[in-house]
């Protein structure tokens, strides 16, 4: 990797991502103002994640809207690789999906890929990833989804439904394709090699168009799916991509559930959140207060500000005031962190209650096995 | 392939197989007279397929018997790739398995790999291979297995039971391994690449030693399984291999369900059997009767004689008489074929009745889904 470059694959994100470059590299489309206006015609307002470019790229979003206009309603599909507890970065596409679901009154499928994380993490057992799948499902349910229009798929549990669909996909993908798209080598295990067809499967679980809100690192899977779709007589899935959520330590990777210090988990206590943000959140401030008052901070690289922008401060006016105050030096890093800590803990207080309530609802969300 | 050479893989058999060479190439052990005597100590008699070297090679058969003596009973596992109707060649390991089951009072698992045949045959759909799986199951049941100690596994139906086991195996096999063992290339589809782990899975379905009677062409799958077993804390499967059953047209391949004229199906009518044997069965006889009377025929290359030896004439004395009479020229090719036709049709008359009865029993044989 050249010094100024970056890597984005479903299993590895490294370097400072240039999203315009990434759009070119992946061959996706930037979300234009025209597209935003078009979405707003359907939704009435725009989710702040759209207004702020947290969702920045797409594939065939216009096709989805055209079909919707014709009465050919899409369904939503997103997911999570359960390698650990949910962190706040994971919630970004889920919260956005909930908004889309409410606005477009669609069905939603949520896939937990316990097999993938077993194949890709040498030390994790399938029992462990399955346990995390159930834990992660609670966070998803806690966001307000309803079992009437939302189904949770856990790969090892719902494999009977997924496998016959995955088989259609797998027959049309060869090892060269996976080398080109994921960088697989002769040393890659055959579970990993096959796995992408299982991530494709929910795209074809209903005979309707599908829209997938997801972190842009997952795009390669669906590039393969989109190549295969016409070969098996199915519509290509449409995608809408969010940026990678930075780790607490700042740019140069995505927040990862496998690094405790770089991550705020939805299960963290208020004390732990406070400690993590204060100790690890990368600051855009100056080395000392005097210099900060004079030169001001840089919110664009400050992780606390970014978390507010990405997730915790939906109010644009409030966010702008924080931006301006931090940039001018009026607001100190400690003050900015205090705002974020309060926001996170307020959110988690409610979320953790809903999360516990979700344990009793889980069964109603699980896809019926065929 | 050099002119004097041969190919044996699970999906392709070509050339005249030198079984002693194959034993060296695959690294298996020839079944010695010592081992035959040892088996006989357990079974009282020896199945004619053992006496005649139809089963000719093994891996760890002695370990299986040692463990059995210690009270650590094995279970049996064999299977079939349902690419078409069952032909009489398929019955060889099944009939032999039934004998082993009766002698050792063991449990038996029978796997129908509808997914494999879907992945490996460009023109077959999964619906078609699944349909053949059910048809093939009838032939298996018709051989006299009992649902109390025999379970049928159909991959697409029992994937929920198989997949978590297959995943343990798949994590320990990389693409290089499948290249080396199966000759896979970058163009091989990812379903095929993953598939071997599903053929391994039944080996670990019970926490006991397993013995697999099977055509020697299937050995490569279990070479991988045997490498993986200790890595996942399981015993290595033991194998006992039968020779390839020649196609009607004679040596140079195995009987294949995809070549109608080279194959006698269990569903063939007496007229069709008669026609196929008379028209296509490769003859070891001389060009005309006079020459045949003078020089005699060659039973060692005559397919009709081979079918009697392999399956249809269990009586060694009767078989020897046929051998001698054909070799001396006393028996003509037409007479030899007539014997075989009668034997096959006698067998199929009973088999086809049992096969139809099996339709009602099928559900009782299917493995319970976990």
pLDDT score, position B330: 97
Of A171, A176, A185, the CB nearest to B191: A171
Cα B351 from Cα B268, distance rounded (Å): 11
The ipTM estimated for the assembled molecules is 0.94
Distance CA B324, CA B347 (A): 24
CA atoms B246, B252, B254, B260: torsion sign: negative
User: What's phi and psi for A132, nearest 5 deg?
Assistant: -65, -35
Chain B residue with the nearest C-alpha to that of A125: B168
Q: Are strands A29-30 and A55-59 parallel, antiparallel or unpaired?
A: antiparallel
Instruction: Tell me the average pLDDT across B297-319.
Output: 97
* Sign of the C-alpha dihedral computed for residues B109, A115, A22 and A45 taken in this order: positive
What's the pLDDT at A253? 58
Alpha helices (H) in chain A, listed in sequence order: 19-26, 33-43, 48-51, 61-69, 91-104, 114-120, 126-142, 155-170, 175-182, 190-200, 219-228, 270-280, 289-295, 303-307, 316-328, 333-365
> Are B244 and B254 within 8 A, CB to CB?
yes
DSSP letter for A34, please.
H
Closest C-alpha among A89, A56, A51, A104 to residue A314: A51
CA distance B342 to B348: 10
B278 has pLDDT over 90: yes
Q: How confident is the model at residue B254 (pLDDT cuts 50, 70, 90)?
A: low
pLDDT in tens, B70-128: 999 999 999 999 999 999 999 999 999 999 999 999 999 999 999 999 999 999 999 99
- The reply to whether B34 touches chain A by the CB within 8 Å rule is no
**Mutation choice for B interface testing from A159, A171, A196, A232 by most B CBs within 10 A:** A171
Mean pLDDT of B168-197: 97
For range B147-163, the mean pLDDT: 97
Q: Minimal Cα distance from A170: which residue of B? A: B191
- Three-state secondary structure of A270-319: HHHHHHHHHHHCCCCCCCCHHHHHHHCCCCCCCHHHHHHHHHHCCCHHHH
B172 at interface of A, judged by CB pairs closer than 8 A: yes
User: What pLDDT score was predicted for residue B74?
Assistant: 98
Task: With beta carbons under 8 A apart, name residues in chain B contacting A172.
Answer: 189
Quick one: how far is CA A75 from the chain centroid?
17
pTM, to two decimals: 0.94
What single string gives the DSSP state of each residue in B199-239? HHGGGGSSSS-EEEEEEGGGHHHHHHHHHHGGGGT-PPPEE
Q: Is the pLDDT of residue B253 over 80?
A: no
Which residues in chain A land under pLDDT 50? none
Q: Are A258 and A292 in contact (CB under 8 A)?
A: no
pLDDT at site B5: 87
Interface contact flag, A160 B159, Cβ < 8 Å: yes
> Is B113 near chain A, with CB under 8 Å?
no
User: Which pLDDT band, with edges at 50, 70 and 90, does B258 fall under?
Assistant: low
Residue A269 region by backbone torsions, left for phi larger than 0, else alpha for psi between -120 and 50, else beta: beta
Closest CA to A263 of A140, A97, A3, A88: A88
Instruction: Look over chain B and give the mean of its residue pLDDT values, rounded to a whole number.
Output: 95
Dist CA B124 CA A114 (whole Å): 30
Partner-chain contact A188 B194, CB within 8 Å:
no
Residue with the larger pLDDT of the pair B7 and A257: B7
Distance between start and end Cα atoms, chain A: 45
Half-sphere exposure of A258 (CA within 13 A, CB side): 14
pLDDT at A15: 86
- How many Cβ atoms are within 10 Å of A315's Cβ, its own excluded? 11
């Amino acid at each position: 990797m050249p010094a100024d470059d970056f890597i984005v694959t479903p299993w590895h994100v490294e370097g400072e991502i240039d999203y315009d470059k990434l759009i070119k590299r992946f061959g996706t489309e930037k979300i234009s103002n025209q597209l935003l206006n078009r979405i707003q015609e359907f939704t009435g307002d725009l989710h702040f994640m759209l207004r702020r470019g947290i969702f920045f790229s797409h594939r065939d979003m216009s096709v989805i809207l055209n079909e919707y206009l014709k009465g050919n309603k899409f369904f939503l599909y997103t997911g999570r690789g359960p390698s650990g507890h949910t962190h706040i970065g994971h919630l970004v596409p889920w919260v956005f999906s909930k908004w889309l679901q409410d606005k477009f009154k669609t069905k939603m499928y949520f896939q937990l890929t316990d097999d993938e994380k077993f194949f890709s993490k040498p030390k994790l057992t399938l029992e462990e990833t399955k346990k995390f799948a159930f834990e992660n499902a609670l966070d998803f349910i806690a966001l307000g989804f309803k079992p009437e229009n939302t189904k949770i798929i856990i790969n090892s549990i719902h494999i009977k439904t997924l496998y016959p669909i995955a088989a259609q996909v797998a027959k049309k993908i060869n090892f060269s394709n996976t080398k080109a798209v994921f960088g697989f080598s002769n040393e890659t295990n055959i579970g990993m090699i096959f796995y992408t067809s299982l991530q494709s499967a929910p795209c074809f679980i209903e005979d309707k168009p599908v829209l997938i809100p997801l972190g842009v690192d997952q795009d390669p899977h669906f590039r393969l799916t989109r190549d295969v779709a016409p070969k098996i007589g199915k519509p290509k899935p449409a995608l809408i991509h969010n940026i990678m959520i930075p780790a607490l330590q700042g740019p140069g990777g995505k927040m990862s559930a496998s690094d405790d210090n770089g991550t705020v988990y939805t299960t963290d206590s208020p004390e732990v959140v406070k400690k993590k943000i204060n100790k690890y959140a990368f600051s855009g401030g100056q080395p000392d207060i005097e210099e900060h008052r004079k030169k001001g901070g840089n919110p664009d690289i400050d992780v606390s500000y970014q978390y507010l922008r990405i997730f915790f401060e939906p109010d644009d006016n409030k966010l702008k005031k924080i931006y301006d105050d931090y940039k001018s030096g009026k607001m100190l890093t400690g003050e900015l962190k205090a705002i974020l800590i309060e926001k996170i803990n307020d959110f988690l207080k409610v979320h953790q209650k809903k999360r516990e309530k979700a344990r009793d609802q889980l069964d109603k969300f699980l896809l019926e096995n065929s």
